[in-house]
Amino acid sequence: MNEISTPAIVETATAGNLTNLVAERASLEPDRVTMSRPLGDGWQPVTAREVDEEVRATAKGLVAAGIQIGDRVAIMARTRYEWTILDFAIWYAGGCVVPIYETSSAEQVDWILNDSGAVGLIVETPTHKELVNSVLPSHTKHVWVMTEDVLATLRHAGSNISDEEIERRRNAIVPSSLATLIYTSGTTGRPKGVQLTHSNFLSECGNVVEGASDLFLKPGGSTLLFLPVAHVFGRMVQIGAIRAGLHLAHCSDPVGRLQPDLASFKPTFVLAVPRIFEKIYNGAEAKAEAAGKGKIFRKAAEVAIAYSEAQDKRGFNPLLTLKHALFDKLVFSKIRAAMGGAVEAAISGGAPLGVRLGHFYRGAGITILEGYGLTETTAGATLNLSNALRVGSVGRPIPGNAIKIAEDGEVLISGPIVMRGYWQNDAANQEVFDGKWFRTGDLGRLDDEGFLYITGRKKELIVTAGGKNVAPAVLEDRLRAHPLVSQCMVVGDNQPFIASLITIDQDMLKGWIAANNKAGATLETLRNDPDLIAVIQTAVDEANKAVSKAESIRKFSILPTDFTIAGGQLTAKLSLKRHVIGEQYAAEITALFAK
């Protein structure tokens, strides 16, 4: 099988837009609690009517500031309640939202604001405002700060704008109208603006919500969103929750607040990247080890995996069931408690989860539904469902879409979730579209039941364990600009951070040795020399200025020899043969990520 499609549950919209999701919920179920905002150590419930009123009042402030239908407005902030309100408020005002990661560098902000032509920018903190002030283009006329009570500021500013004006703007938006421009790293380094329409999100979120109805439409269901809403994955769940009336809350500080927020909000399902599940597992194992119960934890993990595998075989061993019940009290209940105590399922994406973790969590009572997609496919193009699950796969196509495997193994996607195209970039569009099919750059296979398995990557883009897309060329080009650096290769695919292998220019090294009174030294003896490491660190620091913290190089290794054509590491035009280098220097790469 090399092509599969699934019938749509929710047909492609011929009218309406994303603002209807808020407005219609407020009209049909005004008193339903659809969101909660942080209040001290607890949560303040917000009804559908209150969400609609706040979105409208905020939209009026944007209109009063001169935002026109079709204008781009950027948001640079962590995931928080205000992000969602502002997202919908910009749509209510007729605008298009341009997300910017709150960790972005000034250089990245400069490019996105200029390329998108954003007329307004909402940042989270005064520190962000200080960062963007140095690169603010003349067409970005407004900068608002979230922590300076941006919602109240806009509400006050828009007090003279009529309800009729907001309705006029809402009704001017059609399914094909641009909803958002999300900038995603390309292999050339310059982020490309992915154009996603209201129709893209209505199709994606409508079919995900109905397909995974046991998560999104569960009576009393809720989700705590802690992934970046600036990323399409978080955005999809945000919009999906609004569409479903699922109780939505935000955690803006996953490092410091995730555990207490999970404990107090008690979501029924979460959205996460594999790194989160790895941390929970590793944390539980370390805790057990410290308490002298490491052996019990490891046995429990074996039982959980076996119990999950038995579900696929449709047969249960009575002894296994008994062991599972015992370990559920001793271990699995604590794993669930770490996620708030009420989580029954989770959606995972951004990087491969791994079969072992998938079976462990399902055996522990939390089914992780792994999916696959790109910014260009409005997040998930495939998803495992509770009633159609293959651990290790990324599921079947989202209803209404199709997956095809090209002759060279590349995964191709078509359907209403595929982007309109890259913003003002015809050359890039020609590269990725083959008729109705979008070329993903990833390699995969389909099994006999239509489940997709991702087997590799054609493109060079690195995806960290946290789901962050990193274009190596940006960092590599800057690193090679340093006189002592000859070649370098950025690594970190499916790893918690970015690192680099660096080779030294032998000719330049001779001068450095003389200047630093290190007569008789060789590259081999200097690889761990503090002075040389310090110099290379300055090159790394300079390269890191071009990217966000999540994309920055945290560690590097100086190699004893250069990359050459003769050695097989370089092509005739001196391009890196990444797979060759990866194999030849596997030990060095492993050492970079060793704890």
Instruction: For helices 19-28 and 48-64, give the axis angle rounded to 10 degrees.
Output: 140
How far is it, in rounded angstroms, from Cα 211 to Cα 387?
Answer: 10
SS3 sequence of 355-386: HHHHHHHHHCCCEEEEEEEEHHHCEEEEECEC
Q: What is the pLDDT of residue 595?
A: 64
Q: What is the pLDDT of residue 594?
A: 87
Q: Residue 227 corresponds to which tokens in the numbers above?
A: 């992934």
More confident call, 95 vs 276: 95
- On the question of pLDDT at 564 being above 90, the answer is no
- On the question of pLDDT at 187 being above 50, the answer is no
pLDDT digits (tens, 9 = 90+) for 112-132: 999 999 999 999 999 999 999
Fold of 18-173+219-254: Rossmann fold (3.40.50)
Nearest CA-CA partner of 506 in 429, 562, 547, 457 = 562
pLDDT digits (tens, 9 = 90+) for 360-418: 999 999 999 999 999 999 999 999 999 999 999 999 999 999 999 999 889 999 999 99
Determine which helix (DSSP H) or strand (DSSP E) holds 530, and give its type and residue range.
helix 530-544
SS3 sequence of 121-185: EEECCHHHHHHHHCCCCCCCCEEEEHHHCHHHHHHHHCCCCCHHHHHHHHHHCCCCCEEEEEEEC
How far is it, in rounded angstroms, from Cα 213 to Cα 359?
Answer: 22
Tell me if domain 18-173+219-254 and domain 471-593 are identical in fold. Answer: no
The answer to whether residues 461 and 515 touch, using CB atoms and an 8 Å cutoff, is no
Q: What is the pLDDT of residue 476?
A: 87
pLDDT band at 574; cut points 50, 70, 90: low
Q: Which residue blocks in 339-455 are alpha helix, DSSP H?
A: 355-363, 426-432
**Distance, C-alpha 124 to centroid of its chain:** 19
More confident call, 568 vs 263: 263
Q: What is the pLDDT of residue 185?
A: 66
How far is it, in rounded angstroms, from Cα 102 to Cα 75?
Answer: 9
CATH superfamily name and code, 471-593: ANL, C-terminal domain (3.30.300.30)
Whole-number CA gyration radius for the chain = 25
More confident call, 408 vs 251: 251
Q: Which of 57-71, 80-94, 426-440, 472-486 has the lowest mean pLDDT?
A: 472-486
pLDDT digits (tens, 9 = 90+) for 292-307: 998 999 999 999 999 9
Q: What is the pLDDT of residue 500?
A: 97
Domain ranges of the chain: 18-173+219-254, 274-459, 471-593
Using DSSP's 3-state secondary structure scheme, residue 405 falls into strand
**Residues contacting 556, CB < 8 A, separation 6+:** 499, 500, 501, 502, 536, 537, 540, 592
pLDDT digits (tens, 9 = 90+) for 98-116: 999 998 889 999 999 999 9
Q: Residue 574 corresponds to which tokens in the numbers above?
A: 């001196």
Q: What is the pLDDT of residue 327?
A: 96
The answer to whether residues 394 and 370 touch, using CB atoms and an 8 Å cutoff, is yes
More confident call, 166 vs 464: 166
- On the question of pLDDT at 189 being above 60, the answer is no
Q: What is the pLDDT of residue 463?
A: 83
How far is it, in rounded angstroms, from Cα 236 to Cα 238?
Answer: 5
Q: What is the dihedral of CA 528, 534, 539, 541, to 10 degrees?
A: 120
**Residues contacting 575, CB < 8 A, separation 6+:** none
How far is it, in rounded angstroms, from Cα 300 to Cα 328?
Answer: 8
Quick one: what percent of the chain has pLDDT higher than 90? 74
Q: What is the pLDDT of residue 198?
A: 98
pLDDT band at 188; cut points 50, 70, 90: very low
Q: What is the pLDDT of residue 284?
A: 87
SS3 sequence of 53-83: HHHHHHHHHHHHCCCCCCCEEEEECCCCHHH
- On the question of pLDDT at 573 being above 60, the answer is no
Q: Which of 319-328, 336-345, 421-430, 460-469 has the lowest mean pLDDT?
A: 460-469
pTM: 0.85
- On the question of pLDDT at 508 being above 90, the answer is no
- On the question of pLDDT at 61 being above 60, the answer is yes
Query: Whole-angstrom distance between the N-terminal and C-terminal Cα of the chain?
Result: 41
How far is it, in rounded angstroms, from Cα 128 to Cα 105?
Answer: 10
**What average pLDDT is seen over the chain?**
92
How far is it, in rounded angstroms, from Cα 89 to Cα 64?
Answer: 13
Alpha-carbon separation of residue 519 from 64, 525, 535 (angstroms): 70, 11, 18
Q: Which residue blocks in 382-439 are alpha helix, DSSP H?
A: 426-432
- On the question of pLDDT at 505 being above 90, the answer is no
More confident call, 559 vs 579: 559
φ/ψ of residue 415, rounded to 5: 140, 180
Q: Which residue blocks in 433-526 are alpha helix, DSSP H?
A: 472-480, 506-515, 523-526
What's 274-459's CATH class? alpha beta
How far is it, in rounded angstroms, from Cα 297 to Cα 289?
Answer: 8
Task: Please report how many Cα atoms fall inside a 13 Å half-sphere around the Cα of residue 246, on the Cβ side.
Answer: 30
